[in-house]
Amino acid sequence: MSDPEKTSPPQISPYVFPVLLAGFGLWCFYDGWVSSDQEMLKHQLFNRIASGVLLAWSILDFIRTRRMEKAEQTDTTVEEPNP
């Protein structure tokens, strides 16, 4: 059996991690600030703190990723030193 054309696996977007962080942050925000479920009241402080941390982290990571992509686009001709 011969190998058909070998293709590389699909690339994962660098924005996946910030989106996941924002999703978890929004979930914690809802549970900590919006939800009136009596079962969630015992976790309210944790969710409030986690929402702030996760949302701030997702914004920071999004900005870093954006800057990194722009730097890679402008600096496409980087010469690697020979060992």
Q: Is residue 80 part of a domain?
A: no
Ranges 43-47, 63-67, 74-78: which has the least confidence:
74-78
Q: Is residue 79 part of a domain?
A: no
Confidence category of residue 10, pLDDT binned at 50, 70, 90: confident
Q: Is residue 3 part of a domain?
A: no
The reported pLDDT for the residue numbered 18 is: 97
Query: How many degrees, rounded to 5, is the angle at CA 78 between CA 64 and CA 67?
Result: 15
DSSP three-state, residue 52: helix
Helix-then-strand count for the chain, H and E: 2, 0
Q: Is residue 63 part of a domain?
A: yes
The reported pLDDT for the residue numbered 69 is: 93
Domain enclosing residue 41, as ranges: 16-72
Q: Which of 63, 55, 62 is nearest to 24 (CA)?
A: 55
Measured distance CA(72)–CA(7) in Å, rounded:
24
**How many domains is the chain built from?**
1
Amino acid at 77: T
